[in-house]
Amino acid sequence: MKSFLLYTLFFALIFSGILQAQSGSQWRIHDTERPQPTVVTPPQGPTAPSDAIVLFDGKDLSEWHQWNGEAPNWVVKDGYMEVRQGSILTKRGFGDCQLHVEWMVPSDWEGSGQGGYNSGVYLMKYYEIQVLNSYENKTYPDGQAGAIYGQFPPLVNSMRPPGEWQTYDIIFHRPRFDAEGKVLSPAYMTVLHNGVVIHNHRELLGKTEWQEQRPYALHPDKLPVMLQDHGNPVRFRNIWVRELEPNQRTAVYIPHAKRDNYFGEYKKPGDTYVIKDERDGFAFYINGTYKYDIFPESETHFYSKKVNTEIDFKMDSNGKVTGLVKKMGGGTYKTDKVK
């Protein structure tokens, strides 16, 4: 009888554990211990919510740069920026986020189809929401304004005419990869164009591309937002972003122009480490064998998601990498960068 009770208790505990796991939450219903949501001041007119990172407030492009790390040459005037040569990227990287962008095709626009004042808002620099004048300007539906480019047309055409400001509110869920690059979950987008839902939790097929379907490929957890130069002077204003996963350990984005600093060969007696430029990330090799990717938490501290490994880079006074210290399994391994 005693053993029967123990068995019953055992299975009851297992079963309650399964139920708790199935609910997907560590909290009980109406749990007063559950943390209160942060109080946020909602936007009043054209300003950002109080917890947003403002990417453009109409004054300067200090949050942006070009591929090569140089300052953008886009024009800033009268509270907006206008496209000039060279797409621009945020200096910071973002993963899951809410992004607000306002854009305008000027009333004196000229063109037709894809030439109807083309630009684009890219999440993580790979996933484009098309910017185009689609007011009485037809093109292929998966390339009109609001399309997830080359994949999905917007549910409806919610364009205002040229000369009026358009808004995009994008809720983006980044793809998840395992350490080997297998997709654990795809990217999703919910998008409102001028307050109208045009994508409802849409599952993306992969990277967006012209005339081809590109599959997902392993990339860091955070990458920049990019605004596209497609040769037309489209205008943007009031751009802000709210990160939706700020408390997890996630990799930051190392600007393209700074990445070369880390690539090369590192030596200590008996071992050679090599860091290579692969999949937008940093592939770590030990004595000629690929081991894992390492992800930056800052410009000097990287970590592996696969193995319990932490890496600190040594830099000289000019910011040039001179070596790295790898910590793993209680050991500390100091190396010098040799090429």
Cβ neighbors of 297 (< 8 A, separation 6 or more) are 249, 251, 252, 303
Q: Which is nearer to Mg ion, 112 or 287 (CB)?
A: 112
Rounded Cα gap, residues 81 and 128, in angstroms = 19
Minimum Å distance from CB 188 to Mg ion?
A: 20
Stretch that binds Mg ion, among 134-142, 173-181, 225-233, 327-335 (CB under 5 A): 225-233
Q: Which is nearer to Mg ion, 141 or 246 (CB)?
A: 141
Rounded Cα gap, residues 95 and 199, in angstroms = 19
Report if residue 162 touches Mg ion, rule: CB under 5 A.
no
Q: Which residue is nearest to Mg ion (CB)?
A: 120
Nearest C-alpha neighbor of 156 from the set 134, 172, 174 = 134
Cβ(105)–Cβ(133) below 8 Å: yes
Minimum Å distance from CB 273 to Mg ion?
A: 40
Please report, as residue ranges, which positions from 52 to 111 form the binding site for Mg ion (by CB under 5 A): none
Nearest C-alpha neighbor of 175 from the set 96, 278, 256 = 96
Q: Which is nearer to Mg ion, 139 or 304 (CB)?
A: 139
Report if residue 120 touches Mg ion, rule: CB under 5 A.
yes
Q: Which is nearer to Mg ion, 131 or 252 (CB)?
A: 131
Two structure tokens written together for 66: 């070009």
Cβ(189)–Cβ(98) below 8 Å: no
Two structure tokens written together for 339: 């090429």
Stretch that binds Mg ion, among 155-163, 226-234, 248-256, 318-326 (CB under 5 A): 226-234
Bridge partner residues of 201 (DSSP): none
Number of residues that bind Mg ion (CB under 5 A): 4
Q: Which is nearer to Mg ion, 120 or 224 (CB)?
A: 120
Q: What does the binding site for Mg ion look like in residue numbers (CB under 5 A)? A: 118, 120, 130, 228
